[in-house]
Amino acid sequence: MTEPVLATRDLTKSFGALKASDGISIDLRPGEIHAIIGPNGAGKSTLIHQICGGLRPDSGTVHLLGRDVTAEGIAARARLGLGRTFQISALAMEDSVLQNAMLGALGHSGRPWRFWRPALRDPDLRARAEDSLHRVGLADHMHKRTANLSHGQRRQLEVAVALTLDPKAFIMDEPMAGLGAEGSALLTRFLDELRAQAPILLVEHDMDAVFALADRISVLVYGRVIATGTVDEIRASAEVREAYLGEEA
Amino acid sequence: MIRERYLNLAVLAGLLALALWALAGDQPFTITLLTKVVILGLAAAGLNIALGIGGLVSLGHAVFFGLGGYAMGILAFHAQNFAPLELGPLSIAGTKSMPVIWLAAIAVSAAVAVVIGLLSLRTSGVYFIMITLAFGQMFYYFAISWSVYGGEDGLSIYVRNGFPGLNTLDPIQFFGICLAILCLVLLLSDRLARSPFGLALNAARQVPVRVETVGLSPTRLKLLAFVISGAITGLAGALYADLNRFVSPTMFSWQLSGELMVLVILGGVGRLIGPVVGAAIFVALEHLLGGLTEFWHIWLGVILLLIVLFARGGVVGLISPRRVGHD
Ligand SMILES: Nc1ncnc2c1ncn2[C@@H]1O[C@H](COP(=O)(O)OP(=O)(O)O)[C@@H](O)[C@H]1O
Ligand SMILES: [Mg+2]
């Protein structure tokens, strides 16, 4: 078996008496979309935060490209190759769409300590940013103020910023949330192709999207992975239906 | 509605024109007032980098203003006493040379800004405000108790420091020096704001977690902004001390930190020429109303209130609304 791009081992995280992560071991293999599903409050975002470095696990490890990054912060993990999108858009709302994408390009360049030439006139930064915006279909909006974008466009911009990083793994927390049927379908098609560039750990509520995209699915309930398997296996699992899909087995 | 660039040039040209008009009318006091506008504008332009771009609400920028002032005061004091400054094993000769004093003011302010920044940037919001304020008070009381350099009474310098080839005692020439420095600093700030560093800093103010997620450190960006900001305010402090030929602990006072913030807010937070416009309004009010009533600050307060309530972009924002994403 090929080595996973990303792996967690026995991640545990408690908030007081609540075990938000209870021994989570998952991995992300090259070329795959690994979906994490589970009811609200199951601990999906908490897991993402631990993977991306915003939250220290109580115990357990996170490995990225074979390297233990458990002690590293968000920025270090990003530089090592994590490209993440947020459940709630985290964008510089006062800035233009292009500037947000250029921030990603700047992070990718690793050279923010430049004080003289305007960023917007840096051809390399600009090309990388515009290319990403083009790929997510925001090229026509790049001079807009980000605050003036629709909800769906902000989600697209989230993805575009992650693209500028050229990451080794994408971590996406509910990218379809609030997109509507047409937007979800578009993004589904986009992610389908994106997995060839880098594998995607996808937290998503939209079951149509998950079943259409996922190579593997892990089901998280009360901080535990109760099942991991292919779409068909998960669909067929009685335990999953009971615990999550809400059907009587 | 005026393009921001034209407004910036108009304000700077206006200051120069007023000074030349005062020169022609033989009104040296007006030139001195204009010099004060330029220097306070410079001090606030320093704060504007931390506050306007970096979002760092520093209520301690008087530290740097005071450090610049005392850098000038101490170096000039030792020069006029012909006694070197003994710092342990180090013996530093005093100097009456402005460029040397400026470099000292910048270096000391930057060094102190590194320390204050490292400690205060671990916090944010109201704690950041309180820590910077606390540093200001520490320096204030230290200056008061530092009797070698006049303690509470401050320190007078007999003759204004010199600049090669110029007569700094001539008000218009000193004004020219200050205005040239202001223009240079504004040019640097303008480039900085639009540079890659400025792009990242601007985002670090709005969404620090986004900046981290692209692999950059918001704290380091803000620290450098704070240091650059402090260095500029320190330089302004040295000029201010030279304008008055006097330094005193009030340069370190929290009122002064507050006033610098008022200048930035009046003119327009994050707007290049905002601090200068704020300083012009401030000095004009102080001069025009200060003669009529001791309570002119009330009117300043009213104007500030109106700005905060109805014109968040300050006076510059009223004249030239901000446009997004242009280079
Ligand atoms: N910082 C926190 N402090 C306390 N409780 C938290 C914190 N973050 C999340 N939780 C709790 O942990 C559980 C899992 O939350 P979360 O990971 O956001 O779930 P999901 O993303 O699956 O909806 C929830 O019960 C939530 O209330
Ligand atoms: Mg969530």
Please state, rounded to an integer, the average pLDDT across all residues of chain A.
Answer: 93
Lowest mean pLDDT among A173-182, B20-29, B86-95, B156-165: B86-95
pLDDT reported for residue B1 = 67
Residue A42 contacts residue A243 (beta carbons within 8 Å): no
Please report which ligand is nearest the Cα atom of A174.
2
Same-domain pairing of A70 and A175: yes
- Which CATH number does the domain housing residue A215 bear? 3.40.50.300
pLDDT, tens digit, for every residue of B133-171?
A: 999 999 999 999 998 898 899 999 989 999 999 999 999
- pLDDT grade, residue B48 (50/70/90)? very high
Please report which ligand is nearest the Cα atom of A177.
2
Nearest atom, ligand 1, residue A87 CA: 21
| Bridge partners, residue A217, by sequence | A35, A229
Neighbours of ion ligand 2 (CB under 5 A): A 44-45
- The answer to whether A99 contacts B199, with C-beta atoms less than 8 Å apart, is yes
In a domain? residue A116: yes
Nearest atom, ligand 1, residue A48 CA: 17
In a domain? residue A96: yes
Q: From the candidates A113, A115, A145, A146, which should be mutated to test the interface with B, based on the most B CB atoms within 10 A? A: A115
B207: chain A residues, CB-CB within 8 Å = 90-92
Q: Delimit the domains of chain B by residue range.
A: 2-319
pLDDT reported for residue A244 = 64
The whole-angstrom separation of Cα A249 and Cα B205 is 51
- The answer to whether B214 contacts A161, with C-beta atoms less than 8 Å apart, is yes
**How many structural domains are present in chain A?**
2
- The answer to whether B203 contacts A92, with C-beta atoms less than 8 Å apart, is yes
Is residue A249 predicted with pLDDT exceeding 50?
no
pLDDT, tens digit, for every residue of A28-82?
A: 999 999 999 999 999 999 999 999 999 999 999 999 999 999 999 999 999 999 9
Same-domain pairing of A147 and A211: no
Mean pLDDT along residues A131-141: 96
In a domain? residue A64: yes
pLDDT reported for residue B80 = 87
pLDDT reported for residue A237 = 80
Task: Point out the domain boundary residue: A131, A166, A201.
Answer: A166
In a domain? residue A50: yes
Nearest-10 crossing angle of helices A97-109, A151-164: 20
Q: How many CB pairs under 8 A join A and B?
A: 123
Closest approach of chain A CAs to the CA of B33, in angstroms? 33
pLDDT, tens digit, for every residue of B248-307?
A: 999 999 999 999 999 999 999 999 999 999 999 999 999 988 878 778 888 888 999 999
In a domain? residue A86: no
pLDDT reported for residue B316 = 94
Report which residue type is found at B88.
G
Is residue A238 predicted with pLDDT exceeding 90?
no
pLDDT reported for residue B10 = 97
pLDDT reported for residue B327 = 53
Spatial CA neighbour of A15 closest among A221, A219, A222, A174: A222
Residue B223 contacts residue B118 (beta carbons within 8 Å): yes
pLDDT, tens digit, for every residue of B5-14?
A: 999 999 999 9
Residue A28 contacts residue A19 (beta carbons within 8 Å): no
What residue in A sits closest to B201 (Cα-Cα)?
A: A112
- The answer to whether B214 contacts A98, with C-beta atoms less than 8 Å apart, is no
**Closest residue (by CA) to atom 5 of ligand 1?**
A15
pLDDT reported for residue B258 = 96
* Number of neighbours of residue B311 by Cβ within 10 angstroms: 14
- pLDDT grade, residue A148 (50/70/90)? very high
Q: Could you tell me if the ipTM is greater than 0.90? A: yes
What residue in A sits closest to B198 (Cα-Cα)?
A: A115
Spatial CA neighbour of A109 closest among A94, A92, A99, A122: A122
Lowest mean pLDDT among A89-98, A109-118, B79-88: B79-88
- The answer to whether A78 contacts B324, with C-beta atoms less than 8 Å apart, is no
Nearest atom, ligand 1, residue A220 CA: 22
Please report which ligand is nearest the Cα atom of A18.
1
Burial A65-89 (b: 16+ CB within 10 A, else e): eeeebbebebbbbbbbbbbbbbeeb
pLDDT reported for residue A248 = 47
Q: Is A13 an 8 Å CB contact of chain B?
A: no
The whole-angstrom separation of Cα A90 and Cα B213 is 10
Nearest-10 crossing angle of helices B196-206, B218-244: 100
Closest approach of chain B CAs to the CA of A194, in angstroms? 19
- The answer to whether A111 contacts B212, with C-beta atoms less than 8 Å apart, is no
Same-domain pairing of A74 and A193: yes
Residue B59 contacts residue B258 (beta carbons within 8 Å): yes
Is residue A25 predicted with pLDDT exceeding 90?
yes
A158: chain B residues, CB-CB within 8 Å = none
Give phi and psi for B271, each to the nearest 5. Answer: -95, 135
Q: How far is CA B165 from CA A35, B97, B186, B254, B302, in A?
A: 73, 11, 24, 37, 45
The whole-angstrom separation of Cα B312 and Cα B296 is 23
Range(s) of the domain holding residue A52: 1-81+168-249
Report which residue type is found at B140.
Y
A residues 179..238 contacting B (CB < 8 A): none
pLDDT reported for residue A1 = 57
Give phi and psi for A65, each to the nearest 5. Answer: 50, 45
Spatial CA neighbour of A137 closest among A74, A90, A179: A179
Same-domain pairing of A177 and A247: yes
pLDDT reported for residue A246 = 59
Q: Is A1 helix (H, G, I), strand (E, B) or coil?
A: coil
User: Best-predicted range by mean pLDDT among A98-102, A226-230, B319-323?
Assistant: A98-102
Same-domain pairing of A214 and A107: no
- The answer to whether A78 contacts B196, with C-beta atoms less than 8 Å apart, is no
A167: chain B residues, CB-CB within 8 Å = none
The whole-angstrom separation of Cα B104 and Cα B91 is 15
B209: chain A residues, CB-CB within 8 Å = 54, 74, 86, 90
- The answer to whether B200 contacts A110, with C-beta atoms less than 8 Å apart, is no
- The answer to whether B203 contacts A102, with C-beta atoms less than 8 Å apart, is no
- pLDDT grade, residue A180 (50/70/90)? confident
Nearest atom, ligand 1, residue A40 CA: 23
The whole-angstrom separation of Cα A16 and Cα A36 is 24
pLDDT, tens digit, for every residue of B235-248?
A: 999 999 999 999 99
Residue A41 Cα to ligand 1 middle (Å): 6
pLDDT reported for residue B226 = 98
Closest approach of chain B CAs to the CA of A19, in angstroms? 25
Contacts of A90 (CB under 8 A, 6+ apart): A158, B207, B209, B210, B213
Q: How far is CA B50 from CA B34, B57, B182, B233, B264, in A?
A: 25, 8, 17, 11, 11
Closest approach of chain B CAs to the CA of A184, in angstroms? 24
pLDDT reported for residue A243 = 67
Closest approach of chain A CAs to the CA of B154, in angstroms? 38
Mean pLDDT along residues B70-94: 87
CA atoms lying within 13 Å on the CB side of residue A7: 12
pLDDT, tens digit, for every residue of B191-222?
A: 999 999 999 999 999 999 999 999 999 999 99
